[in-house]
Structure 1
């Protein structure tokens, strides 16, 4: 047996060792501390926003999110209050970490996380937008199921989806009833507080979309399941989808009835006649207001200019682009031996009319033209050395699958979920069912700039590069607070993604040493400039309608006159071209009215990239590489350039 003195000595020695071990173990770095908070925040955010989680592939990110695709967001007042408390705690934890003790990249992540949290708290507590988010409530379940269908595993023999994937769809469909029930309670609170949707949203979303969604879940989704389901559990799963779809359809019809009874005297009256609504809900109620718009510019988009400044500066930009178009139209007139009107706007319109004659005769020909444009864009980039492109890269143009055709008009890009290892981004083109009028809108000259925006070097290339460097892009930079794409969205990601898309269009017009006129032919250049003009005008009308400088109808007139080169007011228009232009203008203005600040992200995002590139050229001089700049920009993720300007310049200077 050991003596007491031996035991005591050993104990003291052990205590000393323990004390030494504790002293020698350094505390976690500030970066490490932030990383833990960021991970917890991202997982919590995705758990509260299941459809955003589906879009990002959140089920692969953390074991707690394994069944997230079977859920919908809880919009109840109690759940939002609990969420706000949790967000406030994350804000406190992040702010407790001194910014200056973080690495430069983590300083950016800290700024991003705080801006996201501020947005969510502001949306709930200041704007109380949950009381009027009608389009969000209607779109979210449909969009969630839509993305699930898009991302299903191939099962062979033309079948799609594992048993687990179909089970998640059934679970999400079962959640639609309670989800829309919470939506009704929030909308009732909005009525009580005078915080209600604009009458156009009540009509277009509350009546029209609710009915369309009810029909989709009642008829279309069971049909899709019948076509796609296979395997030994086919019949049981198909029965589950049918029952859950019927329940979801009934929930949408109940919401439709609630909207009709709450806000309308007669919901069957046409949209142009506001008399169908109850008097309390007939006024315009879409404007965000100047103070709120400025808050969103600063917090959400990281911009320093005010809405009034953007509005005042916008018209000179519009006019400059119009002058460019007039000059290109006259060049085309000379090339083609056309006699054009002396008036510049009429000359542009005449050239558009001439180019529209070269329309595809069928959907197959239209898809072929898109593919040809994509191949030419990729070849041009290789020939000019614009990008270092893998030999295997090819821009795939895919016909929009039937289940998605109802939600994709024309061309669109669907990125692969970044948090998943599986999945491929798709550049979709929706067929017209060989409709002559729709085919006429896709003449050959008009497709190149769209292929550049949605495909290469736009969204397809952008998301493929970001996926390649996914491990270097922190997860907080992928989030889309509020929603992915509706009136509840923050639009933080849009400034990066759509800014890059418009930059890609413009990049292909820039002279290169081996291509002094850039990529586009003169006729394609005219349409590329019209695409630029559209985004230029958006800054004018979006700021205008939301800060009270333009009425809705005045903005419709501005859009028709400026984008389509058709003078005159829309009210009382009888000319067929003007009537069509005005219908398009109304549709666009409705989108801008419910999505404040989204429309401006294209032009302002592009200009931020150009300004940043110019600063890099000045800073680096002969060492500047456009290829390195583009890679560094895309490696920053889907956040506005205002977050990372100095860090990007420092990375380039360091040769990273």
Structure 2
């Protein structure tokens, strides 16, 4: 059903407080609707906005744990994208005029406004016309994540997957129709092509292999064939697709997103300078620590030496990460640095097959915050099947034993997993829906430094690796801003990342490819960490109270996180 004609549901309140729900059309942001169990109960404009948002993005809604959205991928036609752009403007006008009776209500409203302003700004840079991953990501995530989480009985999971599989050919047809050869960049198309080539095997083998019941497995594999054929067709299309667009966002839009979506008080040029200054400061400290590692101030040579001590295989890498994750959890609990969510659990697993062509680093899948689950997944960065032994060795080197403590802290305890399992208990629904990497990634890098202060990185090798993780994030700020503001070529960026951080040439190439496809995300780590450290200096209370307060408030833009923490 097209987005502009779908039914949405939310809370309506009569003047006596009695629920007066009624059906309305999506796209009329002034009317109340019937709740499907995801409102805060106030019937506020923010609640109504969430129902529109979920009905328009069912894959996102289902991934967050909202009921009733796991049967469809949604409408990806050009008319649906254009309708969304118009409706966002209406919602911005309505919510900007809404009163907020409490500080929490004001933060909720301003959080949504920041998201809307960012989305409206990006309408001038329509990724649905530029990037195949917009379509591929929805298919892959919607099929893989439910079976990974297994929050419903297997027959229900399979029924939902069958319904979505039937829509895959339509989504991929929309991709072919919507990509604009004047806007799409060859780099992004090639990136999408790498993912698309995994589609057939993903749908016909990977997903069915996750089904335990033999009959259901066979049913799912058979139903996957038309969707797999649609992937084959898309691969052929992308192989022959000629385009001449750019992946460079430009300084104006980049700075707009920093100021209006991330609520930072500066733009791309100042952020670039902050990255350079942070790199220089870290470089000086790393020279001191390197003396203890290899007797010289050449920290790159010291890191090269440390990276030769790595797990022998990908499977060994996963097992060692699991052991390090448990050690980090015990350390955090023993020192009483945070409050743990009841029932939280972090699994350490190989990265999903479909992510391997585009993600070369560890990453994390959070528990759906609108559900009762508190189980997350720390994905270890396996290589694609077609990697050479040397490429696999280089991946293992960038996950050396000296680096593992920092990465496990970042991804699991008290980084992403602790934060996202704990904040899922926040009663403010909108805080569970919208979060910015400038907080979530900033938090995960902040806790690396905080655990260093607590003595977790207790050898020169692990301290140098910890600092290397941080200087890597400073290099990301420099490179991402320079790339998108047309001050650096891809080749220059790859050289910068390989020489200003301890990345192998292959990993540096994968990193820069990611920056080109995801502007403004790479600087979020160190930028957010520095802002959180600044807020901590003003907080009156214990370290644990600060952590629970700021991380429990959500994944807010830093200006709003400061209000929520210091109020």
Cα distance change on mapping 1:553 and 1:253 into 2, 3 Å: same
Q: Which of 431, 440, 445 in structure 2 is aligned with 1:477?
A: 431
> SS state of the match for residue 364, structure 2?
strand
User: 2:399 maps to which residue?
Assistant: 442
C-alpha distance in structure 1 between counterparts of 2:318 and 2:15, whole Å: 68
Corresponding residue SS for 2:535: helix
Please give the alpha-carbon distance, in whole angstroms, between the structure 2 residues aligned to 1:633 and 1:323: 31
Counterpart position of 1:137: 135
Q: Secondary structure at the match of 2:309?
A: coil
* Paired position in structure 1 for 2:3: none
Aligned partner of 1:128 in structure 2 is 126
Alignment of 1:248-647 (within 5 A): 248-263=227-242, 281=243, 285-333=246-294, 340=296, 344=297, 347-361=298-312, 366-388=317-339, 396-400=346-350, 406=356, 411-422=362-373, 424-429=375-380, 438-467=395-424, 469-471=425-427, 474-480=428-434, 492-510=435-453, 512=454, 519-564=457-502, 581-616=504-539, 620=540, 624-647=541-564
Deviation at 1:208, TM superposition (A): 2.5
Contact 1:378 1:394 in 2 (8 A): no
CA contact (8 A) 1:395 1:456 kept: no
Residue of structure 2 equivalent to 1:198: 185
* 1:172 equivalent in structure 2: 164
Distance 1:500 1:51, change over 3 A: same
- What are the ranges of 5 or more consecutive residues in structure 1 without an aligned counterpart? 1-21, 60-65, 155-160, 264-280, 335-339, 481-491, 565-579, 651-656
Change in Cα spacing, 1:402 to 1:461, as seen in structure 2 (3 Å) is closer
Q: TM-score, normalised by structure 2?
A: 0.85
Superposition deviation, residue 401 in structure 1: 8.0
SS, match of residue 363 in structure 2: strand
Unpaired runs of 5+ residues, structure 2, are 1-13, 19-38
Alpha-carbon distance, 1:54 to partner: 2.4
Contact 1:509/1:525 (CA < 8 Å) preserved in 2? yes
> Cα deviations across residues 354-409 of structure 1 (Å, max 9, x unaligned)?
3234333456654453344334333433444433558x988755333877885875
Closer, same or farther: CA 603–554 of 1 in aligned 2, 3 Å: same
Contact 1:56 1:417 in 2 (8 A): yes
Structure-2 separation of matches of 1:165 and 1:410 = 29
- Cα deviation for residue 557 of structure 1 reads 1.9
Paired positions, count:
528
CA deviation after TM superposition for structure 1 residue 286, in Å: 1.0
CA RMSD of aligned residues (A): 3.1
Q: Which is helix-richer, 1 or 2?
A: 1
Post-superposition shift, 1:32? 9.3
Q: What TM-score results when the alignment is normalised by the length of structure 1?
A: 0.74
**Distance of 2:381 and 2:491 partners within structure 1:** 31
* 1:457 to partner: Cα distance: 1.2
**1:214 aligned residue:** 200
Q: Within 2, Cα distance between the matches of 1:555 and 1:642?
A: 30
46 and 108 in structure 1: CA distance in 2 versus 1, 3 angstrom threshold: same
Larger radius of gyration: 1
**Structure 2 contact 498–504 (Cα < 8 Å) conserved:** yes
